[in-house]
Amino acid sequence: MTGEGGVIRVLLGWTGEGDFDQEARTFANRLRDSGMDVVFTGVRPRPENLVRAAIQEDVDVICVIGDGAGLEQVLEMEGAGDMAVVALAKEADCVALVRAEVRPGSNRSG
């Protein structure tokens, strides 16, 4: 697909309330186990920080656990409006959701 050797690069951020640290780690592990490269931003980053990290890390898709409100607007403001965003809910099939959203080479600069 994209990136070196066809590896999908995913930025994973947790924007929800509550203690979902274990759930976030579970999603990250599932994505890694399926062959994706995962950058984890940690707990409750602001939309601006998620977008800046996504651009800096040159990812294919932003996955958020919780509310992704505001991400599309910030992506547009930063000139990255074509980057895919996937909102993950508890027990979501994160691998299938990411693969459905990522288009080969659509979001990567290199």
For 42-59, what is each residue's pLDDT tens digit? 767 778 888 899 999 999
Task: Quote the CA–CA distance of 65 and 92 in Å, as a whole number.
Answer: 10
Q: What is the pTM of this model?
A: 0.77
pLDDT of residue 32: 92
Q: What is the mean pLDDT of the chain?
A: 78
Q: Each residue of 5-42: pLDDT tens digit?
A: 688 999 988 776 666 667 778 888 888 999 999 998 87
Task: Quote the CA–CA distance of 105 and 16 in Å, as a whole number.
Answer: 29
Percent of the chain with pLDDT over 90: 17
Show the domains of the chain with their CATH numbers.
Answer: 4-101 (3.40.50.280)
Q: How many CA atoms lie within 13 A of 7 on its CB side?
A: 14
